[in-house]
């Protein structure tokens, strides 16, 4: 049987639809998996459409940034997230020409909140993302749920409790006003303030060195102000837990990034 160009086009379209998602479709009602996807991906959509849909489904948009060319990052929050009083109070959504990708509250909740995190804790947030973006699919970035609360890239390296002091004083919030190094600030129910930081463009290029443009939504980087002190997660922890497929060789390629990120964030508090 002769296959025409039209038939080939139809077959190609079907194949593309079937293989466009890297992983499996998210089923919130399913049992907790042993391995958690770091991110969820949805079909490609315009940034304006995504912003509108997120707002319509209960999210507050805190910032829209572009850490690297071709990537728009939308930082969002909602009541369920802010109630954690933690690094999980905001999530980032990446929009590029291939897909929309979100930070998974299941993954980062397990990493940040440890034993207090339960698989079903963020069902409402995930349902809101699904309503806004459509079907969500797992991606290749993933890590064992059981090991996430004590995550370290390797023995002796930073974990979630290893924060770095980046500022101190009674007027830290005032210093952030009209500061070009600040993308957003969010006051949490416990009185702490979560701050998203714009890094200098030179610093952001670490993403390109390790071919991680698809995960540009690990930025903006965050600090937290509480009781007159501002701290940040150690980049040797945050970059590794956000990029769980990172090899030792790739980590060495961005060996200067942790110090550069720390320097950029301290600049905001000067």
User: Closest Cα to residue 65, out of 212, 213, 182?
Assistant: 182
Q: Does residue 173 share a domain with residue 135?
A: no
Is 173 in the same domain as 259?
yes
Which residue is associated with the tokens 């030179």?
202
In a domain, 7, yes or no: no
140 belongs to a structural domain: yes
Q: Does residue 238 sit within a domain?
A: yes
Tally of domains within the chain: 2
- pLDDT class of 32 with cuts at 50, 70, 90: confident
Could you list the residue range(s) of the whole structural domain that residue 27 is in?
A: 21-149
**Does any domain span residue 47?**
yes
Same-domain check for residues 44 and 105 = yes
Q: CB within 8 A of 227, min separation 6: which ones?
A: none
In a domain, 142, yes or no: yes
Q: What is the pTM of this model?
A: 0.89
CA atoms within 13 A on the CB side of 82: 21
- In whole angstroms, what is the distance from residue 247 CA to residue 39 CA? 18
Instruction: Give CA separation, 60 vs 149, 153, 190, in Å.
Output: 28, 33, 19
Whether 4 is in a domain gets the answer no
**CATH code: domain of residue 76:** 3.30.310
Could you report the per-residue pLDDT of 131-162, keeping only the tens digit for each?
Answer: 999 999 999 999 999 999 999 998 888 999 99
Which pLDDT band holds residue 107 (cuts at 50, 70, 90)?
A: very high
Query: Which residue, 121, 149, 177, sits at the end of a domain?
Result: 149
């Amino acid at each position: 049987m002769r296959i025409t160009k039209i038939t080939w086009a139809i077959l190609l379209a079907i194949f593309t639809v079937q293989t466009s998602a890297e992983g499996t479709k998210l089923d919130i009602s399913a049992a907790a998996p042993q391995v958690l996807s770091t991110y969820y991906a949805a079909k490609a959509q315009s940034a304006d459409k995504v912003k509108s849909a997120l707002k319509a489904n209960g999210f507050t948009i805190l910032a829209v940034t572009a850490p690297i060319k071709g990537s728009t990052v939308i930082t969002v929050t909602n009541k369920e997230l802010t109630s954690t009083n933690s690094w999980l109070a905001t999530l980032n959504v990446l929009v590029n020409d291939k897909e929309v990708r979100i930070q998974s509250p299941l993954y980062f909740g397990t990493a940040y909140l440890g034993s207090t995190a339960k698989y079903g804790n963020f069902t409402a947030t995930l349902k809101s993302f699904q309503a806004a973006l459509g079907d969500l699919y797992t991606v290749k970035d993933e890590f064992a749920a059981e090991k996430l609360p004590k995550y370290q890239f390797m023995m002796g390296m930073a974990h979630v409790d290893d924060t770095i002091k980046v500022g101190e004083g009674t007027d830290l919030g005032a210093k952030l006003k009209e500061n070009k190094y600040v993308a957003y600030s969010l006051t949490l129910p416990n009185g702490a303030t979560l701050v998203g930081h714009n890094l200098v463009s030179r610093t952001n290029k670490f993403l390109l060195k390790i071919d991680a443009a698809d995960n540009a939504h690990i930025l903006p980087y965050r600090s937290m102000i509480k009781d007159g002190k501002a701290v940040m997660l150690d980049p040797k922890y945050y970059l590794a837990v956000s990029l769980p497929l990172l090899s030792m060789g790739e980590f060495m390629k961005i060996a200067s990034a942790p110090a550069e990120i720390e320097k950029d964030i301290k600049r905001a508090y000067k």
